[in-house]
Amino acid sequence: MTFWRMLNREGRVGAVVLAALLLMALLAPWIAPGDPLAITGEPMLRPFASAAHILGTDRLGRDVLGGLLHGTRTTLLVACFSAAVALVVGSIVGTLAGYLGGLADTVLMRITDAFQTVPAFLLALAAISVTGPSVPTLIFAISLGTWTQAARVTRAEVLSLRERDFVAAARALGMRPLEIAFREVLPNAFGPAASLAAISVAAAILIEAALSFLGFGDPNRVTWGSMIAEGRTVLRAAPYLSIVPGIALVVTVLGAHLLGRGLSRTERLQP
């Protein structure tokens, strides 16, 4: 069964939206060549007022369409990598806690609880304040607060798998505990955690946009959050400066959410 046929209707809508955004990100250097932070026209041109600036320009004369397209690249880069890091870290922690049990389970789960009690945005904000804003530190900061859900889901799956016959057979063959955990148990427990990836991407997009809005994003890259923040200073005179990236942000998060719902429902329907 193909990935497309596995998805329900809302999952397919989300997949199409995210595929279109990915295509926009890949084609950004050709659709809007040059530096998106460069001044290319008159300030405050309204949308469709100039053929060279279809979505207008901001108060410094930077092209809004170019910023929107290049901002897609930054948003998807940070969101996908931070979700991947969170998924890997959470899966490792959940596997160790669920398979080893005892003291290891208690310690790892208490650490997970400690991270889970602090909102992910506040953790990311604290980490960025210490390390400074850049794309790698944004990825680290966002994943710092989003790995706990994957850890709990993986642990629950591992607890249900560690007493199965294939695990007992691996022990009889002389495999070491960690080898059994990561070679035999984790691949079978990874599916439910992987279905959280789209939800993690949506959360990462919102956190990255909020950090950029507050001025904690990478200053050398255009982001949707920074575009919204730039437009708020002239919100009455040029509302499009905040509305355009705001719509892009809503559509992206909605697409990721729909894909996540489709994946989770598919996972529940599997035997």
pTM confidence score: 0.85
Q: What is the pLDDT of residues 23-75, one digit of tens each?
A: 999 999 898 888 888 888 888 888 888 888 898 888 888 999 999 999 999 88
Range of the domain at 152: 76-223+254-269
Is the pLDDT confidence value at 247 over 90?
A: yes
At residue 83, φ and ψ (nearest 5 deg) are -65, -40
What pLDDT was estimated at residue 53?
Answer: 86
In a domain, 22, yes or no: no
Give me the residues paired with residue 63 across strands: 57
What pLDDT was estimated at residue 111?
Answer: 92
Entry field: residues in the chain: 271
In a domain, 95, yes or no: yes
Cα 91 to Cα 37, 64, 155, 160, 269: the distances in Å are 39, 40, 8, 15, 22
Number of domains in the chain: 1
In a domain, 214, yes or no: yes
In a domain, 9, yes or no: no
In a domain, 59, yes or no: no
In a domain, 183, yes or no: yes
What pLDDT was estimated at residue 3?
Answer: 63
Report the CATH number at residue 181: 1.10.3720.10
In a domain, 49, yes or no: no
Cβ distance 79 to 204 under 8 Å? yes
In a domain, 116, yes or no: yes
Cβ distance 212 to 229 under 8 Å? yes
Q: How high is the mean pLDDT of the chain? A: 86
Cβ distance 210 to 120 under 8 Å? no
Tell me the C-alpha distance between 219 and 211, whole Å.
Answer: 12
